[in-house]
Structure 1
Amino acid sequence: MFWYTFLGYFLFTYLTYGVQASVEGYISPSDNKKFLSVLIKSLSGDNVDLSGIYNGVIGLKLLNEQIGSEIAKKNCEYIQKSFKDDEDPEIIFHVFTAWSKLGCSGKIHKEDTLKFLRNVLTKEKSSLSDLRFSVEALKAVGENAPNPAKISQLLQSKLKEDDSLQSLGHALHASVHLGSHGKFALDRVEDIVVQLDEVNGKLLQWEGGLSTTSLLLTGLLNLEGIKPLTQIQADKIANYLLTRKTVQTSKGIVVLLEAIKALTSSSVSPVSIGVIGKPSVSIEKPELKVRVSDLLGSPLKPVPGPVVAVSATRVVDDVVVLSKKPLSAGSGPTEFTLPLLLDPDHYQIVLSAGSHTVNLHVRVLGPVNIKSFEIGLADVDGTSGTQLTKLDFPNKLTKGLQADSSHLLISKFSLSRSVHQTFLRLHSPKKEIIFIAEVDSNKLYKIEVNINSEFTYSGVFDMELILGDPVMSNPIKWNLGKIDINLGKTEPELKSTKGPKPEIKHLFRQAEKRPSTTVSLLFSILTAAPLLLLLILWLKIGLNFSNFSVISLPFHLGFGSILCLFLCFWLKLDMFTTCAWLIPLGIFTFLSGHKVLSKIANSKKSEKKD
């Protein structure tokens, strides 16, 4: 048993070795049109800046679009007016590149600017991004980086301090321009690739989103002499990039196109296989048009191999209905045609182009014909026979049906093939009821409607037969005629809800009765009694001012201020204002009181010693 299992595993591994998946999406003409409008706006809009001009120019070049002479002239003038020599290296790189790509006359770079860039490449405090853009800015004006060995040492020392993904990306881009001194970047490739994050088993990206992924991807694919990614990894990264086609800024468009361009021109260029238009064909037009291209929609060079439909499986029962059928060339270099002479249904098709495969879900549509149709009335108790009238599509009843509470509405029909949706719709201006047909073992559809239980009021209804299906090319909505239902009760007219609402009158609670003047006066006297008692005692006992000192004056002022504040609160202030004043007064009174108590305690200690 072990050997049979081992042999089966070996054969499966051997047969599937080298087979790669593919991607279905690509940068379509509609995507290019959307990108183009954003990029042109960055060159001719009101909020033009130096980085926006760079992104607009590079984006148009990536789309192989020409820049109008008027737009180019306008942006050249803006660059010349706005560019300053003390800009940071990234802005300088953007300016030098945009100036060159726009074909502006003269030179934008000055010796002072180049000297500034050379100084950046010698300073240990320069960041990795400054080192990268300084090297690339010098390269943009045809000048090689001075002292590549020194720059290489600076890059490596900076990576020891900060080896984040952004820093690694800048180091990769700078190392490409250092010749043999940039080979240190090769030692970082494995560390970068292993940090790829997988999403749902289908996407690969680096943490940081599109900008970080594009920075690292373009940097890796610019390295010479290595193959940093496998084909499966490249396909999954391509799937991620294609999910970001919704970017709305010129910078986002540029980083997306740069990443896709780098992937497309690499040795692991993903193959995009997908259906042109809707993933459905009809029996009348069975040709399924398939597109096989790179991520930019261009023909593959070289073509990875013949395009073949490996299999087509009916979804409902997993029956293989087609096997190893080559596709014929279509009208364009990326178009291929597969005739699907199959019965209407859902199919799973496996397509291959060389070692690249893709699974496509396709529908084959076909018409449905009504073979027979009958409709009529029958008694609920079965005392009289059923009277059904035969109809041919698309005719309708010449005379409407007359029904009451003792009748059943019966409809029977058969179709050329079964469908998912079969409805009988009865509707009037006031009501609509839909009934579902049931199919028996002989594939005969039947609908029975009990008039007494389904309807409450009399009325005249239109009858419609509705047939639909996901693989039905001719959905049917057939007007059968009218049925007059008489139940002896007429549906009451609904009152209109339009117009002004009745006025809402509020009843406020009446004020409570206040106590009498005598009670209020007595309560005030009782409240003031402690203060009166204090004054009486002071008059009788007397006041001792002998121990009063100046140091206790702040305490008494603070305490008196608090009492005055309470009086103001009672007369005028609200609680929030009172608390705002009480906090500083309370702190002042507490500290001054603590000072007075400390002095009294110290004086008592000195008296005891004496």
Structure 2
Amino acid sequence: MKLIILIVLSILISIVISGSVQSKITTTRGISNVYSKNDINNIKQFISSKYNGNTKLYGESLKDTFYGVGVLTRIGETNIEATKDICKQTKEQLKQNKFTDIELVFNGVTILSELKCLQGESSSSLGNEQQLQDLLKNKLENGSLLEKTQAINIYFTLSSAKAIDSKTVSIIDPLLIQAVNSMVSLMDEDGTFKSVSTDDEGNLQNTAAAYFALARLSHRLKSNEVDKLVAKVVNKVDTVLASADETTDSLYFNDLSTTSSLLHGLLSLASVNDKVADVISNKQINQISEYLLRQKNVESLSDAYHLIVALKRCQKNSISQPISLALVKSIYSPSGLNDIRVRVTDIFDQPIEASIVINKVVSSKNPRSTPILSGKEMKFQSSDNSFVADLSNENLKLGSYNFEFKVQPVDTDSYKSITNIQIITITGAVTVNDMKLSYAPKSDQLGSPKTTNEVQFGQKLPLIEIPSNNIARIFFRIASEAQPYQAQQVGIRFYSPAREAVVPATYSADAYSYTFTNKDACKILGCQSGNYQLDLIIGDQSITPLQWNFGEINLKFNQSTIPTNRYPEQLPISHNFRVAEKRPPQSISSLFTLLVLSPIAIFVIGLLFVGTNLGRFPTGMGFIYTIGFLGCISATGLLIVNYWLHSTMDVTLKNLALLMIPLVFFGHKSMSYYSNLSSSNIKKD
């Protein structure tokens, strides 16, 4: 029993170990695109177009210039336009600012550093030394997270250029560890960083800035206390990564700016803490690279800067540097199979030393079929930094093939191996063999020599009359380099001056055929009797399209011809309308109208005889209420008359609903007034 348990445990342990090893050696397909020399030239032209000769800056501000200079220095542009003018203008703005705006100082100092204008300078040449000390001290102690990170970067930049005095160093150095504690205290439970402690939650931009600043501090201070705090931050990196938006082949955080900043910060952290490499995988670096390469067409200096910064971090980092395998060309003729070429490059299209093996080659139409070849090693050609394979003796027919390449870089510390599938098409001409047109009363008699007509490729059969009670069959084979070939599209075209139809040929056992009866032909040709030309049409991406007029047949149909017009002429449609019902004479309608209006006439005549007494007409508010009430009643009457003459019920009801509000209000007030008036008169009596 113990032996069985021991065996089971051994098997489980071996499975776990093999699984973990397998996960470590899992390869990716690499990146599908690169940032080429043409892309670099395009972004150079874009940056140059933003230079303002009047302000001596890129764009409209020092921040835009920070972006523009950052791009040019990172792509290796050594001859930056008007470097002296930019440095001079930057220094003037720093002096005018008097070290009050931390962001402007950060942008200005970074510009001067990247243009190498800080060499041999001191911070006093940029402004008052005391003001700089106060700015850095204040922001490190009381600033927001972004202000702290900017202060740290300013301090390190000036220190690296030896452009800061010892007094400032003695003041700022003790504050750095305090700044680390302060920044880490701003980390939220989800791993993101708040700007200030009173914020409800953190965001990814703050997180990216914190990662980069903490990495610089850890590298500079070399303190166990700082390393522990950085480790605390690293423990939350997986939670931050989980917030990324992921598609099939790309990964990003909100937008280009956030993705670039966060990648820069994460890879900076990885340089001081090895555990980051356990969280970020090679696949994720490739996915981020794919996202970045889709953002080539930048529209602002900010986007250009963040794109280049992120691409540069992908090109050089301590976790994984993406590589690309690309075909020199994807279409070959049979005579060119001795020169199958590929290139292996990094994300900036720079060649990489590697060994390449063609793992397998299968037909694109049937990827799960048995490989046509496997284990073919490619040779390196130093003339154009490509890898070449000679497949002229591998018996590859015309068609498309999936080539699986295994790339093993020489520098395994920087690059991971990839397995990449590319489609290569072998194209050329085809021939048609064994073309036969047969007809017979029964299908089992179609092979009879008496009713079989053969024709050589390129020639044409004479007119053949096919009886209406016979079955006909067109049979042929397609070959390439004396080998059977299955094309993507093969059809038979029947056409005459009156009708035309194309039917697909059926492929079976290395041959094509199309069998039809008189009824089938009647259906596709509209039962139009007559002579029909026969064309064979062959189409495929790997061959030159072929159309061959190989014969002519006569067909007779017993059925009447079906019109070709999609919309045949129809007989006029007649409708029987209902006879209008008999109505009463107009005189009766007029009499009814007079009866309806007679009360109004009686009222007017009565006023003339009886007279009117306005002596008791109310005064004050009663007057207003009464006039409003009478006005609303009159408006209601007019509305009813308007409906009777030409309006609709829908409009009338809407207007009546609006009138009911003032009518009820004024009516209620009027009745209340008269009620109170009557009560007071009774009391007097």
The normalised TM-score by structure 2 is 0.66
Distance 1:586 1:95, change over 3 A: farther
Cα offset, 1:264, TM superposition: 2.0
Amino acid corresponding to residue 356 of structure 2 in structure 1: V
Query: Residue 235 of structure 2 aligns with which residue?
Result: 190
Q: 1:480 aligns with which of 549, 553, 565?
A: 549
Query: Residue 577 of structure 2 aligns with which residue?
Result: none
Query: Residue 60 of structure 2 aligns with which residue?
Result: 49
Matched, 1:346 2:346: no
Query: Residue 235 of structure 1 aligns with which residue?
Result: 283
Amino acid corresponding to residue 254 of structure 1 in structure 2: Y
Matched, 1:111 2:159: no
Matched, 1:327 2:339: no
Cα offset, 1:226, TM superposition: 1.4
Q: 1:417 aligns with which of 478, 484, 501?
A: 484
How many equivalent residue pairs? Answer: 582
Query: Residue 19 of structure 1 aligns with which residue?
Result: 25
Distance 1:582 1:3, change over 3 A: closer
Matched, 1:64 2:89: no
**Distance across 2 between alignment mates of 1:585 and 1:327:** 93
Identity, in percent, stands at 16
Q: Deviations over 1:189-213 (max 9, x none)?
A: 2313332136668657464233222
Cα offset, 1:79, TM superposition: 7.6
Distance 1:601 1:491, change over 3 A: closer
Q: Deviations over 1:48-74 (max 9, x none)?
A: 43344443333333333466637x699
SS at match of 1:267: coil
Query: Residue 320 of structure 2 aligns with which residue?
Result: 269
**Distance across 1 between alignment mates of 2:476 and 2:268:** 68
Distance 1:491 1:139, change over 3 A: same
**Distance across 2 between alignment mates of 1:361 and 1:278:** 11
Cα offset, 1:351, TM superposition: 0.6
**Distance across 1 between alignment mates of 2:598 and 2:157:** 96
SS at match of 1:49: coil
SS at match of 1:467: strand
Cα offset, 1:551, TM superposition: 4.2
SS at match of 2:336: coil
The normalised TM-score by structure 1 is 0.73
Cα offset, 1:309, TM superposition: 3.8
The CA RMSD over aligned residues, in Å, is: 5.5
Cα offset, 1:419, TM superposition: 0.5
Amino acid corresponding to residue 290 of structure 2 in structure 1: L
**Distance across 1 between alignment mates of 2:76 and 2:500:** 58
Cα offset, 1:586, TM superposition: 4.4
SS at match of 1:187: helix
Note the residue ranges of structure 1 that are not aligned, 5 or more in a row: 498-509
Mapped contact 2:403–2:421 kept (Cα < 8 A): yes
SS at match of 1:319: coil
Matches of residues 243-282 of structure 1 in structure 2 within 5 Å? 243-247=291-295, 248-250=298-300, 251-277=302-328
Matches of residues 67-82 of structure 1 in structure 2 within 5 Å? 69=81
Q: Deviations over 1:168-218 (max 9, x none)?
A: 222233445554387544432231333213666865746423322221110
SS at match of 1:18: helix
Amino acid corresponding to residue 19 of structure 2 in structure 1: T
Cα offset, 1:603, TM superposition: 12
SS at match of 2:335: coil
Mapped contact 1:298–1:334 kept (Cα < 8 A): no
Mapped contact 1:42–1:52 kept (Cα < 8 A): no
Note the residue ranges of structure 2 that are not aligned, 5 or more in a row: 1-6, 187-193, 410-415, 569-579
**Distance across 1 between alignment mates of 2:652 and 2:151:** 61
Cα offset, 1:388, TM superposition: 0.9
Matched, 1:521 2:594: yes
Query: Residue 417 of structure 2 aligns with which residue?
Result: 356
Query: Residue 562 of structure 1 aligns with which residue?
Result: 632
Matches of residues 319-468 of structure 1 in structure 2 within 5 Å? 319-320=370-371, 322-331=373-382, 335-340=386-391, 341=394, 343-344=396-397, 346-347=401-402, 349-354=404-409, 356-363=417-424, 365=426, 369-370=430-431, 372-376=433-437, 378=439, 385-392=450-457, 395-397=458-460, 399=462, 410-414=473-477, 415=479, 416-421=483-488, 422-427=490-495, 431-441=499-509, 443-450=510-517, 452-453=521-522, 454-455=524-525, 456-458=527-529, 461-468=532-539
SS at match of 1:194: helix
Q: 1:292 aligns with which of 341, 344, 350?
A: 344
Mapped contact 1:423–1:466 kept (Cα < 8 A): yes
**Distance across 1 between alignment mates of 2:92 and 2:623:** 72
